[in-house]
Structure 1
Amino acid sequence: MPSWNIEEWRRPGPTPAQRKADLWIGIGVAAVAVLNLFLSRSVGMLHTDDAPARAEQIAWAVATTLPLAWRRQRPDAVALIMSALFIGGQVRGAQEQQVTTYALYAAIYTLGAWGPVRRRARTLRLGIIAAMFGWLTVAFLTQWDEIHGESFEGASGELPVLWSLVFNNYFVNVIFFGSVYLVGDAAWQAARRLNTVESQAAELRAAQAAEAERAVIRERVRIARELHDVVAHHVSVMGIQASACRRALDKDPARARTALTAIEEGARTAVDELRRMLGALRASGATAEAATSGVDRIPQIAESAREAGLTVHSAVFGDPVPLPDSVSQTAYRIVQEAVTNALKHAHARTLDIRVRYLSGLVEVDVTDDGRGTSDKPEKSGGMGIIGMRERVAVHDGELESGPRPGGGYRVRARLPFTPVLSMAGESR
């Protein structure tokens, strides 16, 4: 809900189309008022001994209705001017009664529906209504003797004639001004609710657009991370094998052929990984997760490192349990990236890869005996450590990475997870 106070809300001003419509309405109502004035004069409705001239009567009819042309641009001024002119025309005895009465109704209504300052609009309307009732009272008092002296032919006598006349006039005016006050308030409330709905809809659209943009960025980061993890490891191993092949090509052809075979297998595996990753990116939900690598393929990483010439120790501690696909993939990628960094940056000779299954937690631990510099990947523009941190953060896990006190480098990640129920467990 909006935090602003209802009284502080300002209704937006009229549109150019609404201002143009008001102009034609004002001109049209003034023309109808003049026409009705001539009709009233023709039947003698405005004939009195002290009736003003025809030109003045026309002037009063136009002046009391034409301001409607600016009713939504200046609702305060229009309501005040038309109210004053309405009373002035009646004082002069030149007031066209029918059309000008409805014009006054429209002016007071517009003040209630379009008044820019809510409190002021309420005060002005109450003041105008009080002035109208004051004028009605003055009119009765000034004409009381004349009214009292009339015979009222055809009166039934069921109620006192004079008090019935007074009550009827006040009752009709109470309904008239009460309805215009309430209808104006209702129109203003409806406009406020519409504005609130439109504002909330605009905020929702902006939030959706921002979320869509964030989703695109997250997807780009995910694709970049996947490409890095898939390509970097295999290319690093292939580079090491190519270097070994170059050194052994003349002295040890058998070893060179072994290195070339490892390069061929690495290239094939990298292509397979890329195809698998692209398939996962095209899929969605569980299908995408199922297409990714998991902890069951960590031994392949260890074997790949051995083929690259490292001494690798790999072990699993605890009772292996089924992991959610996303957690299993994250554990695999962290081990893969840690091994890649050891090959590319640490110049390690020995690797120790451990997977621990704890209560509601899986931990992967990769250590090496290399140079142990934690800033090399970032300085070279790599995204390895950054990618690992992002992956672990998604699962609210913990990541430790840095040089070991005795030399070498360690990467350890702890990933909490909710145990995956077996089919038998789900059926019970």
Structure 2
Amino acid sequence: MSDTTEAGLNEEWVRPRPGRTGYRNDLLLALALAIGTTISLVLFRATGTFSDTPGWQSTLWIVAVTMPLALRRRWPEAVAVVSSLAFAAAYVFETGEFLFSQICLFVAIYSVGAWGRNRKVATIVRAVIVSGMLAWVFWQLVYYSAVQDYLPELPREGSLSPYLAYGLINIITNLLYFGGAWFFGDSAYRSARAKALLEQRTVELAAERERTKQQAVALERLRIARELHDVVAHHVSVMGVQAGAARRVLERDPAQASRSLSAIEQNARSAVDELHLLLGTLRSEQPEPGAAPAHQSSSTRGIEQLPELVADAEAAGLPVTLSVIGEARGVPGGVSLSLFRVAQEALTNARKHGGGGARADLRVRYLAEAVELEVSDTGVGASARGGAARATNSASGSGLGHIGMRERVAAVGGRIEIGPRARGGYLVRAQFPIAPALVSTSPINGEPASADND
């Protein structure tokens, strides 16, 4: 997840309400605190504290200070206000007790921080409650400092009198009390938000893994389809041409028919061998250390096999001239395979669409930082077939073969041009980047220059 998404979640996230189990637990908590408050109240009354308060008043106070906590996660702000007023009523109306009522107030203020859906409102409500309580404590300490009958055992004289120390202890205790409720409430909210963020990240990562998996499957299917097209289309096309030739000359020229059948057999064996190699590569789950990637090693074909490709094309009835321009040098396996497959597809198309009497030229040029393949033919394809399908589809590269050529060239960082020539025929020109050739110069003493020389 990006930082922007995370920041957006931090600003907009609202803690979801608990389920029925959460509300049931809150009700049980409120009942438990009500029972504890009742027992504590009885004990306080036994000590003489607020012992004159009517029973019904004490009962109403117990309900007011404890039972709203059953809704502390649904309406935390309202519960905190009610609990605070009930807590103050214990002093104003001289009823209640001072143990469980403080626990109830702590839980109420904590719940505002932990479950408040509007953070600004939660902050304001807590600030008002805490400020009011601290102001009340401070006012009581100041007021009773002048009342000598209140805690007479604590003298008021001196810079740090016992009464002043008592007052400071009360203030520090209340600061820790309210500060703890505030801090732990906010911590619970942050923890819930972090958990939600982690869950969202987990969901997004799972979705991303699924998308990656689907993309990998799609790319693998595309690679398999491209390999099958390149392997099968060429050989089957040659076999179809040779079979037709054998059928036409079978009676009048058995020797030629036999040569055509031999070519069919050779192409069939070649196709089967390449298919076996392709399937073996696809079945290999654990490639050997140092082995080339599957898209580079799925065929033994490469630039060295171009003469064989030319021979197959000529045997199928398409005259081809092979030219190598420049000094030949090593070509990476992936580039070599792609160059061979592009040449194979171009010659197959020339044979299928070029028409009778078509010729093809296959040129390989070694440039400074690239190797260029050019396959042109003199066919009249579209007009000879009585339509413009070839010219239209080929120019845009919409055929499966042309798509495969473009993908192969793009996969190794090259570029390709496909389209009809102005003077007739068709042209496929692809350029593949390779390592630049080292230019050797001879120094004055006649020794060959080293690549390390300056």
**Alignment TM-score, normalising by the size of structure 2:** 0.85
| Alignment partners' CA distance in 2, 1:58 and 1:241 | 106
Q: Does 2:319 align with 1:318? A: no
Amino acid paired to 1:407: G
Partner of 1:366: 375
What secondary structure, in the 3-state scheme, does the structure 1 residue paired with 2:321 have?
Answer: strand
1:141 Cα deviation (Å)? Answer: 6.0
Q: Which residue of 1 aligns with 2:176?
A: 175
Which residue of 1 is the match for residue 361 of structure 2?
352
Query: Which residue of the partner structure matches residue 189 of structure 1?
Result: 190
Q: 1:8 to 1:354 in 2, by over 3 A?
A: same
Structure 2 residue 22 is the aligned partner of structure 1 residue 18: yes
Q: Secondary structure at the match of 2:117?
A: coil
State the alpha-carbon separation in 2 of the partners of residues 142 and 316 from structure 1.
108
Matches within 5 A, 1:26-425: 26-47=30-51, 51-140=52-141, 147-150=147-150, 152-153=152-153, 159-283=160-284, 284=287, 286=292, 288=294, 289-292=296-299, 293-347=301-355, 349-372=358-381, 373-375=390-392, 382-418=399-435
Find the aligned partners of 1:346 and 1:17 in 2 and give their Cα distance.
78
Kept in 2, the 8 Å contact 1:370–1:407? The answer is yes
Shift of the 151–108 alpha-carbon distance from structure 1 to 2, 3 Å rule, reads: closer
Return the letter of the residue paired with 2:149.
G
Q: Is the partner of 1:4 in helix, strand or coil?
A: helix
In the aligned structure 2, how far is the partner of 1:411 from the partner of 1:379? Answer: 13
Q: Secondary structure at the match of 1:399?
A: strand
Asked if the contact 1:401–1:412 (Cα under 8 Å) also holds between the matched residues in 2, the reply is yes
Amino acid at match of 2:334: S
Give the Å deviation of 1:41. 2.1
Conserved? CA contact 1:8–1:118, under 8 Å: no
SS at match of 2:424: coil
Amino acid at match of 2:331: L
Aligned letter for 2:27?
Answer: L
CA 1:419–1:24: 2 relative to 1, 3 Å? farther
Question: Do the aligned partners of residues 378 and 116 (structure 1) sit closer, same or farther apart at CA in structure 2, a change above 3 Å counting?
Answer: same
Describe the shift of the 1:17–1:268 C-alpha distance in structure 2 as closer, same or farther (beyond 3 A).
Answer: same
Contact 2:110 2:184 in 1 (8 A): yes
Q: Post-superposition shift, 1:395? A: 2.2
Q: How many residues align?
A: 418
Instruction: Return the alpha-carbon distance in structure 2 between the equivalents of residues 9 and 353 of structure 1.
Output: 65
Q: Secondary structure at the match of 2:18?
A: coil
| Offset, 1:376 | 5.4
2:90, 2:11 → 1: CA distance?
Answer: 35
- State whether residues 83 and 105 of structure 2, in contact with CA within 8 Å, keep that contact through their aligned partners in structure 1: yes
What amino acid is aligned across from residue 104 of structure 1 in structure 2? Answer: L
Supply the distance in 1 between the matched residues of 2:72 and 2:153 (Cα, whole angstroms). 43
Amino acid corresponding to residue 430 of structure 2 in structure 1: A
Paired residue secondary structure (2:418): strand
How far apart are 1:417 and its partner, in Å? 3.2
Structure 1 stretches of 5 or more lacking a match?
none
SS of aligned partner of 1:352: strand
* RMSD, aligned CA: 2.7
Counterpart Cα distance in 2 of 1:226 and 1:374: 25
Deviations 1:240-299 (A, max 9, x none): 111111111122111111111111111111111111111222235616333422212222
> Structure 2 counterpart of 1:13, which letter?
R
Contact 1:323–1:420 at 8 Å: present in 2 too? no
SS in 2 for 1:320: coil
**Is the contact made by 1:341 and 1:377 (CA closer than 8 Å) also made in structure 2?**
no
Quote the sequence identity (%): 39
Secondary structure in 2 matching 1:148: coil
Q: Which runs of 5+ in 2 are unaligned?
A: 382-389, 439-449
Q: Which amino acid aligns with 2:83?
A: M
Q: In the aligned structure 2, how far is the partner of 1:66 from the partner of 1:219?
A: 64
Paired AA for residue 388 in structure 1: M
